[in-house]
């Protein structure tokens, strides 16, 4: 009977979020409308990514194809789709995209109460070989709709009201938290709907995997180097961890969330702030990790406590299973 209920009682992402919002009597459905525009963007990118090889959508921005039409690189195209979808939702006021140098301030006539920070297509160096890539987003609430500024997005990650990512992989999976746990939805291509497939995701307390670009090892700081050494040569009698690294943050974090373990993008001598961007990479993923029972640390503090001063600022990050992140925190504490 349970199986039958699954087949006939369809829990779409919209229905799920409406259920959640109905617990807040003051909610007027604005978040649901905003989310449906984000979901539309994700479906578009999913479809474009799946057709990329065929449609020759890949290639350099500005390059022309055989028909002489301008071709857009997939990440440029994805960005335009998200920006337009978010503005037309009528629910946004400030947008920060990895693709745009400056923040976008929505025209007052279309302004709503949410700020969205996003990376429309992360890991795009992986497109040409068909490896999983993704969209990452975080959502803040504006303080005063009639008086918006960059300060509305230069907020610590703990002020986000929601965060998520969509992974374009062997299936298209959207993982979302509105601050009340984490849920995963998988796109059913025949329905064109994201269906709840991973309710209430919790990350294992400790994992058997670690995920880092070891090619940077010669430039690592001592705590990172010690931590990775411990993963390979544990001295407490435990088994060594396995290394998994895709080089696509959404895919590496998704695996970490489901299987447990730790993902590291540390500082190194070449890049003292690491590589990943605070607003639309580090914060949303840290928000999801904490909501799933894990942790996220910058090497100095809880990642979600960081107060950014620039929209494209970078930060080192260590995130994943609670106990694994505890270990790297202890190594940094011992440094001081
Ligand atoms: P991108 O924004 O240029 O795509 O770079 C971000 C990506 C992340 O998805 C991934 O975690 C990281 O870069 C991998 O970096 P590296 O190639 O240095 O290991
Ligand atoms: Mg990126």
- Percentage of residues in the chain having pLDDT higher than 70: 92
Q: Which atom from ligand 1 is nearest to the alpha carbon of 125?
A: 4
Evaluate the CA torsion angle 224, 218, 312, 63 in order and state its sign. Answer: negative
323 by Cβ neighbours in 10 Å (0-12 / 13-18 / 19+) ranks as: middle
**Closest-approaching ligand to the CA atom of 124:** 1
**Complex ipTM above 0.90?**
yes
Q: How far apart are CA 266 and CA 219, in angstroms?
A: 10
Question: Could you tell me the distance, in angstroms and rounded to a whole number, from the CA of residue 279 to the centre of ligand 2?
Answer: 11
Summary mean pLDDT of the chain: 92
Task: Please report, for residues 165, 291, 333, the alpha-carbon distance to residue 254 in angstroms, rounded to integers and kept in the order given.
Answer: 9, 14, 28
75 lines ligand 1 (CB under 6 A): no
Question: Could you tell me the distance, in angstroms and rounded to a whole number, from the CA of residue 267 to the centre of ligand 1?
Answer: 14
Q: How far apart are CA 166 and CA 251, in angstroms?
A: 10
pLDDT at 111 over 70: yes
**Interval 130-141: pLDDT, tens:** 899 999 999 999
Question: Could you tell me the distance, in angstroms and rounded to a whole number, from the CA of residue 213 to the centre of ligand 1?
Answer: 10
Ramachandran bin of 252, using left for φ above 0, alpha for ψ from -120 to 50, beta for the remaining angles: alpha
Task: Report the pLDDT averaged over residues 6-11.
Answer: 82
**Interval 194-244: pLDDT, tens:** 999 999 999 999 999 999 999 999 999 999 999 999 999 999 999 999 999
Q: Which atom from ligand 1 is nearest to the alpha carbon of 121?
A: 4
Contact criterion met (CB below 8 Å) for 71 and 57:
yes
Q: How far apart are CA 163 and CA 160, in angstroms?
A: 7
Q: How far apart are CA 232 and CA 242, in angstroms?
A: 8
Q: How far apart are CA 117 and CA 283, in angstroms?
A: 10
pTM, to two decimals: 0.94
Alpha helices by DSSP H, the chain = 2-8, 13-21, 30-55, 74-88, 222-232, 249-259, 283-291, 322-335
**Interval 117-166: pLDDT, tens:** 999 999 988 888 889 999 999 999 999 888 999 999 999 999 999 999 99
Residue nearest to atom 16 of ligand 1 (CA): 247
124 lines ligand 1 (CB under 6 A): yes
């Amino acid at each position: 009977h349970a199986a039958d209920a699954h087949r006939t009682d369809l829990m779409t992402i919209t229905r799920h979020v409406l259920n959640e919002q109905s617990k807040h009597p003051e909610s007027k459905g604005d978040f649901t409308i905003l989310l449906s525009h984000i979901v539309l963007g994700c479906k578009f990118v999913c479809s474009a990514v799946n057709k990329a090889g065929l449609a020759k959508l890949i290639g350099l921005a500005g390059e022309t194809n055989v028909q002489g039409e301008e071709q857009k690189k997939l990440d440029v195209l994805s960005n335009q789709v998200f920006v337009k979808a978010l503005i037309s939702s009528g629910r946004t006021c400030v947008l920060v995209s990895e693709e745009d140098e400056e923040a976008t301030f929505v025209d007052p006539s279309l302004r709503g109460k949410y700020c969205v920070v996003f990376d429309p297509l992360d890991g795009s160096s992986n497109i040409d070989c068909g490896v999983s890539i993704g969209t990452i987003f975080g959502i803040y609430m504006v303080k005063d709709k009639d008086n918006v500024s960059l300060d509305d997005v230069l907020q610590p990650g703990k002020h986000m009201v929601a965060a998520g990512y969509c992974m374009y992989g062997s299936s298209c999976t959207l993982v979302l938290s509105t601050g009340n746990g984490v849920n995963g939805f998988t796109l059913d291509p025949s329905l064109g709907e994201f269906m709840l497939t991973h309710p209430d995701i919790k990350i294992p307390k400790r994992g058997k995997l670690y995920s880092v670009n070891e090619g940077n090892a010669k430039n690592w700081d001592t705590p990172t180097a010690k931590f990775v050494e411990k993963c390979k040569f544990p001295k407490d009698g435990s088994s060594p961890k396995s290394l998994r690294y895709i080089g696509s943050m959404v895919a590496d974090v998704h695996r970490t969330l489901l299987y447990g373990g730790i993902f590291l993008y540390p500082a190194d001598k070449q890049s003292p702030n690491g590589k990943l961007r605070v607003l639309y990479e580090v914060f949303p993923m840290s928000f999801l990790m904490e909501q799933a029972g894990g942790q996220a640390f910058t090497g100095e503090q809880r990642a979600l406590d960081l107060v950014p001063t620039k929209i494209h600022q970078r930060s080192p990050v260590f995130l994943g299973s609670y106990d694994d992140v505890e270990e790297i925190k202890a190594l940094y504490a011992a440094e001081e």
